[in-house]
Amino acid sequence: MVLFTVYSKKKMMYWSYIPHLSYSDSELLQNYCLEYSLNHSEDILLFVEHPCTITIGSKNNHENLLLNHQEMLNHKIELHSSSRGGDVTLHAPGQLVIYPIFNLRRYDKDILKWIRNLEMITISTCEKLNIPAKRNLHHTGVWVNNKKIASIGVKIKKWVNLHGIGLNCNNDLSLFEHIIPCGIEKCIMTSISAEKHTNYTPQDVIPIFIQSLTEKLNIHEKKHLSIESLHDLINLAFTKSM
């Protein structure tokens, strides 16, 4: 069982699921949500799925990318530099990418503790599915029997979190053979579906993750936003600030 200290101050969040979103559009959306979070009392939790995309984090280790430009084109894989921390990772349909655009002033202004919170929330999500997930003392992320099930990389801007978690649900794990995941040699990836021997989609996992997150961060009210409502919320916030 995951043990953690629950934050005492109650909070509210909006959440939204976008099943098809390019990586570049997700970075733009996150920055819009950041401005909202800075000027309002609610945080925004984004769940998305990206097309097949390799991202290179702030460590900028291109040597951990095992494909050349032509091979990337042949496999229809996009390549993006990312402002998040960390090394090389891969996103694909079936992986639940979680972007908690949360103002850390409402929690702790402690980046390492925040990353550990994200790990523990993800571990709790796995435990609710009877998957024995754990932290790794040497590498950020979440692991199951020495296989990595979730990668974590963030950027903190104005004390608001950007980027977040890639939790493998039912994505094609063979795609990770095109990279050295997170720069970890001989890293083996796994997924919820692989561990459960049955198909779990990102949509199956979202309510379980929300339960784990709200328990950990003491979020007393949560409201689902459609994609259209999310856009309206952000646009309204910018209109009021002008």
Q: Is residue 37 part of a domain?
A: yes
Task: Give the domain extent around 126.
Answer: 11-226
- CA neighbor of 146 nearest in space, from 90, 188, 86, 206: 188
Q: Is residue 234 part of a domain?
A: no
Q: Is residue 1 part of a domain?
A: no
pLDDT, mean of residues 146-157: 97
Q: Which two three-digit tokens encode residue 124?
A: 């709790």
Note the pLDDT of residue 6.
Answer: 47
Provide the domain count of the chain: 1
41 CB-near residues (< 8 Å, 6+ apart): 11, 12
Note the pLDDT of residue 60.
Answer: 79
Q: Is residue 236 part of a domain?
A: no
In the set 33, 169, 182, 187, the catalytic residue is: 182
Confidence of residue 1 (pLDDT cuts 50, 70, 90): very low
**Has residue 25 got a pLDDT over 50?**
yes
Residue 158 falls in which region: left (phi positive, over 0), alpha (psi -120 to 50) or beta: left
- CA neighbor of 167 nearest in space, from 141, 186, 185, 197: 141
Q: Is residue 79 part of a domain?
A: yes
**Has residue 241 got a pLDDT over 60?**
no
68 burial level (CB within 10 Å; 0-12, 13-18, 19+): exposed
**Has residue 114 got a pLDDT over 90?**
yes
Confidence of residue 139 (pLDDT cuts 50, 70, 90): very high
Q: Is residue 194 part of a domain?
A: yes
**Has residue 136 got a pLDDT over 80?**
yes
DSSP-derived secondary structure letter, 172: -
Q: Is residue 41 part of a domain?
A: yes
Query: How far is the C-alpha of 156 from the C-alpha of 81, rounded, in Å?
Result: 17
Summary mean pLDDT of the chain: 91
Note the pLDDT of residue 236.
Answer: 65
Question: Does 182 participate in catalysis according to the annotation?
Answer: yes
Instruction: Report the percent of the chain where pLDDT is more than 90.
Output: 78
pLDDT, mean of residues 166-177: 97
Q: Is residue 24 part of a domain?
A: yes
Report the CATH number that the domain containing residue 67 is assigned in CATH. 3.30.930.10
